[in-house]
Amino acid sequence: MLSIVHRNIGWIEVICGSMFSGKSEELIRRLRRAIIARQKVAIFKPKIDTRFSDDHIVSHSELKIPSKVVESAWDILEQSLEAQVVGIDEAQFFNNDLVLVCQKLANMGKRVIVAGLDQDYRGEPFDPIPQMLAVAEYITKTHAICVICGNPANYTQRKTPNKERVVVGAADIYEARCRNCFEPPEESKKEIKLSAGNRGKAQETSK
Ligand code: ADP
Ligand code: ZN
């Protein structure tokens, strides 16, 4: 991070990775330091994620920090006008307006720290994190440890057969896996095969 910071310059930091990779821990660490330095801090999480608490962000290792629950990205804009630092957890549960809101906050001179899952249970990019990465000044990719082989884990394995994109849960439903040990669900295996086939065709026709 910058060691010299000029007044009134805002920016966006993104912390992303799989479940259990330490995104919330890292977000809480950064926000605590800002609070210690007596900066005005506003912290938010989406209404959908009230797994452990509805008035705190809580990590899987039970670190916690008070936060407000909001229904939409625009609530964050309204409620952080006074803040110097804005923290947002579980950002993948907001829609793409979150990118616009974070840009506005950064343009107003605020430090915006966004944590979220970058891939869903199928290994597909999880909006709006990819769009947020494109406009962020700083990106931190966190890794868990693969529960099968111990390598760095970049995937979230769903242990139940649900096909909805959002199924809220923790170690009861999900586990961290590396690229080798991740088993994509049947529906996305077919998609990967299909697109590999198409790529072959494209190469043939371009010869
Ligand atoms: P995230 O926000 O990325 O889901 P958290 O910050 O909430 O992650 O939790 C990180 C903590 O999760 C770790 O410090 C550790 O206590 C716990 N944990 C559980 N499973 C794993 C795993 N497979 N690899 C690493 N940490 C794990
Ligand atoms: Zn593995």
Domains of the chain in sequence order: 11-206 (3.40.50.300)
24 CB less than 6 Å from ligand 1?
A: yes
- Whether the CB-CB separation of 59 and 45 falls below 8 Å is answered with no
Q: What is the pLDDT of residue 84?
A: 98
Q: How far apart are CA 91 and CA 84, in angstroms?
A: 19
**Residue 199: band (very low, low, confident or very high) from pLDDT cuts 50, 70, 90:** very low
Residue 206 has pLDDT above 50, yes or no: no
The residue contributing the CA closest to ligand 1 atom 21 is: 20
**Residue 203: band (very low, low, confident or very high) from pLDDT cuts 50, 70, 90:** very low
Q: Which ligand number lies closest to the CA of residue 181?
A: 2
Phi and psi, residue 102, nearest 5°: -65, -40
69 CB less than 6 Å from ligand 1?
A: no
Tell if the pTM clears 0.85, that is, is over it. Answer: yes
Residue 14 has pLDDT above 60, yes or no: yes
Q: What is the pLDDT of residue 54?
A: 85
Q: What is the pLDDT of residue 187?
A: 72
Q: Which ligand number lies closest to the CA of residue 141?
A: 1
Q: What is the pLDDT of residue 98?
A: 98
64 CB less than 6 Å from ligand 1?
A: no
Mean pLDDT of 6-17: 90
Pocket-testing residue among 26, 32, 52, 59, ligand 1, by greatest number of atoms within 8 A of Cβ: 59
Span between the terminal Cα atoms of the chain, in Å: 47
- Whether the CB-CB separation of 8 and 107 falls below 8 Å is answered with no
Which has the closest alpha carbon to 44: 2, 92, 90, 12? 90
Which one of 1-10, 49-58, 78-87 scores highest in mean pLDDT? Answer: 78-87
User: Residue 63 is encoded by which pair of tokens?
Assistant: 């670190």
Which has the closest alpha carbon to 178: 143, 140, 131? 143
Q: Which ligand number lies closest to the CA of residue 91?
A: 1
Q: What is the pLDDT of residue 75?
A: 98
Which has the closest alpha carbon to 50: 172, 176, 169, 173? 169
Q: How far apart are CA 96 and CA 99, in angstroms?
A: 6
Q: What is the pLDDT of residue 207?
A: 39
Active site residues: 90
Pocket-testing residue among 21, 113, 155, ligand 1, by greatest number of atoms within 8 A of Cβ: 21
67 CB less than 6 Å from ligand 1?
A: no
Q: Amino acid identity, residue 161?
A: P
Mean pLDDT of 69-86: 97
- Whether the CB-CB separation of 86 and 76 falls below 8 Å is answered with yes
Query: 118-175: per-residue pLDDT in tens?
Result: 999 999 999 999 999 999 999 999 999 999 999 999 999 999 998 998 998 888 999 9
Q: What is the pLDDT of residue 192?
A: 56
Mean pLDDT of 18-42: 98
147 CB less than 6 Å from ligand 1?
A: yes
State the DSSP code for 36.
H
Mean pLDDT of 192-196: 53
121 CB less than 6 Å from ligand 1?
A: no
What is the average pLDDT score of the chain?
90
Q: How far apart are CA 105 and CA 85, in angstroms?
A: 9
Q: How far apart are CA 10 and CA 156, in angstroms?
A: 32
